[in-house]
Amino acid sequence: MMPTPFPFLLAALLLMTTPFISALALGATPPDAQQRPHAVKAPFGAVRNDDYYWLRDDQREDRAVLDYLNAENAYTDALLAPTQPLQETLYREIVGRIKQDDASVPYRERGYWYYTRFETGKDYPIHARRKGSMDAPEEILLDVNRLAEGKGYYSVGDSVVSQDNRLLAYADDSNGRRQYTIRFKNLETGETYPDQISGVSANLVWADDNRTLFYVENDPNTLLTVRVKSHVLGTPTSQDRVIYEEQDDSFYMGIGRSRDDRFICISVESTVSSEQRCAPAADPSAFTLLAPRERDVEYSADHLDGRWVIRTNAPGPGGKPARNFKLVTAPTDSTSRVQWADWVAHSEDVYIEAFELFDGFTAISERSQGLERLRLLKADGKQEYVQADEPAYSMGLDVNSEHDTPWLRYRYTSLTAPATTYELNLDSGERRQLKQQPVIGYDPSQYTTERVWVEARDGTRVPVSLVYRKGFKKDGTAALFQYAYGSYGLSMDPGFNSTVVSLLDRGVVYAIAHIRGGQEMGRDWYDSGKLLNKQNTFNDFIDVTDALVRQGYAAPDRVAAMGGSAGGLLMGAVANMAADKYRVIVSQVPFVDVVTTMLDPSIPLTTNEYDEWGNPEQQQYYDFMLGYSPYDNIRAQAYPAIFVGTGLWDSQVQYWEPAKYVAKLRDHNTGSLPLVFRTNMEAGHGGKSGRFRKYREAAEYYAFVLDQLGIAAIATE
């Protein structure tokens, strides 16, 4: 047994034999939200009643709503009180694995070495640099610990240094709403300028004059990125010039510099289309369109060596779309797709995810058979691949700030291998390990990772990444913790997660189900898990559970599931469709009220996502979405134990979705397993800020899960 702090030992041993639900005997009573009928109407005449619509308060000021959320928090505190010793044990384990005085791998840019470091006991990073070499005196750019003092939440988004290395612009957020404020600092004097720009995204670019900053302004209500503006340091923000304004509210917007620093580019993209316009960074007065937007054509361009290199799914001469993307080139003055020439061909089996340009080679990030790989294409046309040593892993490009170098930086990790940064010399073949994430007390030789394939009900083979502690026996008695996301084409790659070690050390098998809706298996994998194909996402997750139980990885009554955001939608759908297959579910910031939200274009992100979920103003999509929307499909049945978490200031999934979901679950749940709802009153979509505070949240829901799975509080040695 691992050493356990003595004050917690007795309580931990009691927890091993005391049913969690007995906490109800202590007098904890779940809140009972008032029902207030409200008609939700669709344009074509459909009407639904929503008894808990009143829990929506856009201003977060309604006393009745806040009282309800606080009552749920108080109930959660009472119900989870018996797990406090386990929570403390888990928190100490997780934090104990962290090297507190850690630092990132420095990278060089315009003569300076930049890095981020942490100091022991402090929650936030210090951003710093050294001129010429790492032996030079340290210059602190931002001490986020000082900036965060007295704030319940604080986060720095983008921070960019001017081209002459003298000025810093950074964007910060003090409530988790992701509405940032831009601030300016003189790095030579330490002075913070009075210029401030609020209501923006965390995306900043300096022009070459070192006085003009480009930024993206948000709509104050929908939080959509609506216009690019430029601010001249020392002038009133009222004089900021509008550079570009997007009229289509289904598009996101961002800005950046080209690889060779010659251009500033504005990129706009929706789920199925994109467009890019660029201007010389030395004179960004007029932006030129690279190619006009076209539905179902996506592209992103970068510039080096006198040409544009463009990743795109645009059709070739034969008219067939490059679904898995290809690379094309175009001259610097390109203004249409007619000028594009194919360079790296499209493949039906390999998905091109990203690329990085260097003077002597191009690094291409790809996916094949659900796994990432790096293809290195040299100037002479020869190519090679970076090799991996494990069956399930994650590999990708790291920070490569300079293009005039033969060294490629990339990162590698797996479910057993902590994140490692390597540097590979394309000329000599030499490989150097720059850093491996330190994990105190962790021995990778004690754990095993596997890659298995599960046949879903429609015959599709779904990859699954597994990890467990050595000594595990596939005899159908273990507990399983299954995670997935399955939306937006975001791939959940098998990377190391130090918090999961606390599950593995207690005999839990951890699985990532790479279900449809992600992009692990290419673009078709995404397309077959969105819009009218969304049911595949839910079926895949359930079918993976059934297969892992059938193959002996877990006992049928000891399965836990977890997902967040759109993965929370997955959890809600799975709980409705297959409640008997899961003992406990963790649903973080869950998108569960799909139809009502997507009917309201005033809610952030709604209009951007019609091509992801469908527009329920059209009856075909309304009916289909209504068929799986977790909130609308709650029914009288025994549900698993469920932990629901949210943030009051969440701008991506508004807090009232999980609040309504929990209130309705309480009305219909016929089972006796606990349902708890935790609202972080000072945070948004990402939970608490700070390096350590987020692990309090993880320890809380891990303790809930372990207790429901009947697992002792003390890990094996």
Active site residues: 565, 650, 685
**Strand pairing partners for 112?**
109, 131
Distance from C-alpha of 421 to C-alpha of 496, rounded to nearest angstrom: 13
Strands (E), 147-237: 155-161, 167-173, 180-186, 192-206, 212-218, 225-232
CA distance 11 to 8: 5
The residues pairing with 181 across neighbouring beta strands, listed in sequence order, are 172, 198
Contact yes or no for 54/36 (Cβ under 8 A): yes
Q: Is the sign of the CA dihedral 398, 403, 404, 406 positive or negative?
A: positive
Task: Kindly give, in sequence order, each residue whose CB lies less than 8 Å from that of residue 135, ignoring residues fewer than 6 positions away.
Answer: none
Is the torsion defined by CA of 442, 445, 447, 448 positive or negative? positive
Compute CA distances 45 → 42, 502, 617, 621, whole Å.
6, 51, 10, 14
Calculate the alpha carbon distances from 615 to 44, 248, 593 in Å: 12, 15, 14
- DSSP tag of 518: B
Label residue 306 exposed, middle or buried (CB < 10 Å: 0-12, 13-18, 19+). exposed
CA 152/CA 147 separation, integer angstroms: 12
- Extended beta strands in 54-111, E state: 107-109
The first and second tokens of residue 692, run together, are 């350590």
Distance CA 449, CA 467 (A): 4
